[in-house]
Amino acid sequence: MKNILLSSILLVFSMQAMAQNFTPASFLGYEIGTQFTRQDKVVSYFNALQSAFPTMMKVEKYGETYEHRDLILAFIGTPENLKKLEEIRLDHIQHAPDEKMAIVWLSYNVHGNESSGTEAAMETAFRLLTDKADFLKNTVVIMDPCLNPDGRDRYVNFYNQYGNAPADVMKYSAEHKEPWPSGRPNHYLFDLNRDWAWMTQIESEQRVKRYNQWLPHVHVDFHEQGINEPYYFPPAAEPYHEVITNWQRDFQKEIGGSHAAYFDKQGWLYFSKEIFDLLYPSYGDTYPTYSGSIGMTYEQGGSGRAGLSVITQVGDTLRLKDRVAHHVTTGLSTVEMSAKNADKLVKEYQSFCAKKNYKYQTYVLRGSQAKLEPLMTLMQKNGIEVEMVSTSTQELSVKGFHYQNGLNETLKLKMGDLLIHTQQEKGTLVNVLFEPKTKLSDSLTYDITAWTLPFAYGVEAWACEGSTGKGTKFSGWPTNVKNVAPTAPCYAYLAPWESMKSARFLSDLQAAGITVYFNEKGFTNNKQVYAPGTLIMLRGENKRVDFDQIVTKIANENAVNLSVVSSGFMQEGIDMGSSSVKKIEKASIGIVMGEEASSLNVGELWHFFERQMGRSIHMVFAEDLEEALDQLTVLFVPEGGLAIADDSEVKDWIQQGGKLIVMGAAVYDFAGKEGYDISRMNPTNDSLKPVAFSKQERDQISNNIIGAIFPCELDATNPLAFGYDTYYTLRQSAEHFDLGSNNVFHLKKEAKAENGFVGYRVKKQQSEASIAGYQSYGAGTIIYFIDNPLFRGFWESGKLMIANAVFFVNQ
The predicted-structure confidence for 451-477, as pLDDT tens digits, reads as follows 999 999 999 999 999 888 899 999 988
Strand pairing report for 139-144 and 218-225:
unpaired
**C-alpha 119, offset from chain centre:** 26
Between CA 512 and CA 510 the distance in angstroms is 5
pLDDT single digits (tens) 538-572: 999 999 999 999 999 999 999 999 999 999 999 99
pLDDT in tens, 670-722: 999 999 999 998 766 555 567 777 666 667 778 899 899 999 999 999 999 99
Q: Looking at residue 13, what is its pLDDT?
A: 47
3-state secondary structure 712-746: EEECCCCHHHCCCCCCEEEECCCCCEECHHHEEEE
Q: What is the distance between the alpha carbons of residues 277 and 235, in angstroms, rounded to a whole number? A: 9
Q: How many CB atoms lie within 10 A of CB 541?
A: 15
Distance CA 537, CA 547 (A): 9
Q: Is the pLDDT of residue 351 over 80?
A: yes
Average pLDDT over residues 200-229: 98
| Of 70, 35, 211, the residue nearest 146 (C-alpha) | 70
**Residue 16's pLDDT band (cuts 50, 70, 90):** low
For 625-631, the CB contacts below 8 A with 24+ separation are 625/592, 625/649, 625/650, 628/590, 629/653, 629/658, 631/588
**Which percentage of the chain shows pLDDT scores above 90?**
88
Strands 589-593 and 618-621: parallel
Q: What is the pLDDT of residue 29?
A: 96
Give the integer Cα–Cα distance in Å for 490 and 394: 42
DSSP class of residue 449? Answer: S
Give the whole-angstrom CA distance, residue 696 versus residue 793.
33
- The C-alpha atoms of residue 169 and residue 451 are separated, in whole angstroms, by 42
Strands 517-519 and 563-565: what pairing? unpaired
The radius of gyration computed from the CA coordinates of the chain, to the nearest angstrom, equals 29
pLDDT of res. 694: 64
Please tell me the predicted confidence (pLDDT) of residue 12.
44
- Number of alpha carbons in the 13 Å side-chain half-sphere of residue 322: 21
- Model confidence at 26, in pLDDT bands (50, 70, 90)? very high
Confidence band of 445 (pLDDT split at 50, 70, 90)? confident
Three-class DSSP category at 199: coil
Q: Which of 110, 149, 191, 305 is nearest to 599 (CA)?
A: 191
Calpha distance 378→200 (Å, rounded): 9
The dihedrals phi and psi of 621, each to the nearest 5 degrees, come to -70, 150
What is the model's pLDDT at position 703?
Answer: 86
Least confident of 83-97, 416-430, 500-514, 681-695: 681-695
Q: What is the DSSP letter of 748?
A: P
The contacts of residue 468 (CB under 8 Å, 6+ apart) are 361, 362, 364, 396, 398, 413, 419
Q: Is the pLDDT of residue 490 over 70?
A: yes
In contact, 642 and 669? CB cutoff 8 Å: yes
Q: Report pLDDT for 393.
A: 85
| Average pLDDT of the segment spanning 114-120 | 98
* 8 has a pLDDT exceeding 50: no
Q: Which amino acid is at 207?
A: R
Q: Specify which residues 492 forms β-bridges with.
A: 538, 565
655 dihedral zone (left: phi>0; alpha: psi -120 to 50; beta): alpha
> Which residues, in sequence order, are CB contacts of 775 under 8 Å at separation 6+?
676, 677, 678, 739, 742, 781, 782, 784
- What is the secondary structure of 515-552 as a DSSP string? --EEESS-EEETTEEE-TT-EEEEGGG---TTHHHHHH
SS3 636: strand
Tally DSSP H helices, then E strands, for the chain: 22, 39
Kindly report, residue by residue over 773-795, the tens digit of the pLDDT: 999 999 999 999 999 999 999 99
Give me the pLDDT at residue 524, please: 97
* Residue range 37-54: mean pLDDT, rounded: 98
Q: How high does pLDDT run on average in the chain?
A: 94
Q: How many residues does the chain have?
A: 811
Q: Residue 304: its pLDDT value, please? A: 86
Element (H, E) at 660: strand 659-663
pLDDT at 446: 72
Three-state DSSP at 329 gives helix
Dihedral sign for Cα 337, 339, 341, 346, please. Answer: positive
Distance CA 82, CA 217 (A): 17
For residue 711, which of 750, 667, 752 has the smallest C-alpha distance? Answer: 752
Cβ neighbours, 10 Å, residue 89? 17
Residue 346 has pLDDT above 70, yes or no: yes
Chain-centroid distance of CA 351 in Å reads 29
Q: What confidence score (pLDDT) does residue 370 get? A: 93
118 burial class (0-12, 13-18, 19+ CB within 10 angstroms)? Answer: buried
Q: What is the pLDDT of residues 599-627, one digit of tens each?
A: 999 999 999 999 999 999 999 999 999 99
Q: Which of 257, 260, 254, 252 is nearest to 235 (CA)?
A: 252
117, 151 in Cβ contact below 8 A?
no
Q: Are strands 780-785 and 659-663 parallel, antiparallel or unpaired?
A: parallel
Q: What is the pLDDT of residue 7?
A: 45
Q: Which residues contact 631 (CB under 8 A, 6 or more apart)?
A: 588, 618
β-sheet bridge partners, residue 219: 105, 295
